Amino acid sequence: LFSSVELAPRDPILGLNEAFGADARADKVNLGVGVYYDAKGHVPLLRAVREAEKARLEAQLPRGYLPIDGIALYDAAVQTLLFGATSPLLADRRVVTAQALGGTGALKIGADFLKRLSPAAPVAISNPSWENHRALFENAGFTVQEYPYYDAATHGLNLDGMLNALSSLPAGAIVVLHACCHNPTGVDLTEADWARVIDVVRARGLVPFLDIAYQGFGDGIDADAAAVRMFADAGVSFFVASSFSKSFSLYGERVGALSIVTASHDEAVRVQSQLKRVIRTNYSNPPTHGAAVVSAVLNHEGLRATWEAELGQMRERIRAMRRGLVERLARAGDFGFIEDQRGMFSYSGLSSAQVDRLREEFGIYAVGTGRICVAALNDGNIDRVADAIATVVA
């Protein structure tokens, strides 16, 4: 049966974890996967999460099935975080939200739903984009193409290239957009840039699919949702895949959500019924623990304040590491762009050969494209990382 099965290539991001785990060097550093590590190099267990978990454990709750679209209070909290508590969309009940298995799971159920709705639509992703975007949409049966995004010469955004490409997409094309903290480049659009993108999306009748996996890691919870809220104000229908993996440090619990903005409550009811069929035939219904914890935190004033403070500390620590890296790399060149980038990632400009050298000679792991996770830097490894980068770029 399996004699003709070929060996698949290692995942470009998660595959690095396997190689990193197998590396015996004590001073190895994992700048590959998008995970926030604290100043001591550990994946943090947030205090807000600990307190919510303690209460859940003490409550000794039974383990029944969740509804197909997850915990209602969780879904409502997701909507408030994304669209803002006073959003008319929420008052009009035009948004459908379903708990999903992380941001990836949200993208997947969105893609499956869209495949039923618009089977022939092309999907456009940014160049570059998160490695899994292309694979995920192709796996759902779509043809995937790219729109220009990153300008290597300026380490910034190629807005004109992006707008031109979006303008030439056919009506109904699905456009995957990173709402904040672009993965892998860390280069984001300004609000003025978003306004221009939204004009094109509306004029061409495109279907925006916003991916927001790092809300709170750029400039703040509300600031990072600016693009989502601008699309909401623009009166278009769109999709949002969101995740609490990073913002709650709950990676393995797979806590995310898909939100679909529709034109009316009546539409929302019908869309929700179809989305539930997609979920039911994929994994039936989502797991309880992670979403229950997130819901408990977001729906409790005190825990929420604790979480917001902890998220703020993570954001500030990443910023400090960006600054520290730029300072230490000054002798090797101008890396000031790293400080302008947002979120966990920096497109460092390192070539794949330089990334190989970092790994082989120094035990420093980065994605082959040159993406480094600055959220994995700390006072104990930043000098070594800067020295190694300076060596490989010399």
Pick from 378, 315, 382, 372: nearest CA to 183: 372
211 catalytically annotated: yes
Does the annotation count 246 as an active-site position?
yes
Residue in 69, 194, 224, 246 annotated catalytic = 246
The CB-of-136 to ligand LMR minimum distance in angstroms stands at 10
**Residue 100 near ligand LMR by CB under 6 A:** no
Q: Which of 36, 83, 130, 365 binds ligand LMR (CB under 6 A)?
A: 130
Cα separation, 39 vs 178, whole angstroms: 27
Of 32, 11, 129, 45, nearest in space to 377 by CA: 32
- Closer to ligand LMR by CB, 11 or 199: give it: 11
Does residue 33 interact with ligand LMR by CB under 6 A? yes
Specify the 3-state DSSP secondary structure of 94: coil
Contact 159, 341 (CB under 8 A): no
Which of 183, 215, 259, 348 forms a contact with ligand LMR (CB under 6 A)?
183
Q: Which residue is nearest to ligand LMR (CB)?
A: 34
How many CB atoms lie under 10 A from the CB of residue 353? 10
Asked if 34 is part of the footprint of ligand LMR (rule: CB under 6 A), the reply reads yes
> What contacts 326, CB < 8 A, 6 or more positions away?
335, 336, 338, 339
387 is catalytic: no
By CB under 6 A, tell whether 79 contacts ligand LMR: no
Euclidean distance between CA atoms 221 and 217, whole angstroms: 8
Is residue 261 within a helix (H) or strand (E), and if so which, with residue range? Answer: strand 255-261
* Closer by beta carbon to ligand LMR, 128 or else 208: 128
Question: Residue 58: is it exposed, middle or buried by C-beta count within 10 angstroms (0-12/13-18/19+)?
Answer: exposed
Q: Kindly state whether residue 126 participates in binding ligand LMR, applying the rule CB under 6 A.
A: no
Give least dist CB 132 to ligand LMR, A. Answer: 6
Minimal distance in Å, beta carbon 34 to ligand LMR? 3
The active-site residue out of 130, 188, 194, 224 is: 130
Q: Does 257 sit near ligand LMR (CB under 6 A)?
A: no
Q: Can residue 369 be called a binding residue for ligand LMR (CB under 6 A)?
A: no
Residue 343 interacts with ligand LMR (CB under 6 A): yes or no: no
Q: CB 375 → ligand LMR: shortest distance, Å? A: 10
> What is the token pair recorded at 167?
């303008």
Identify the helix (H) or strand (E) that includes residue 353. helix 352-362
Site residues, ligand LMR (CB under 6 A)? 13-14, 33-34, 130, 132, 183
Residues annotated catalytic, as ranges: 130, 211, 246
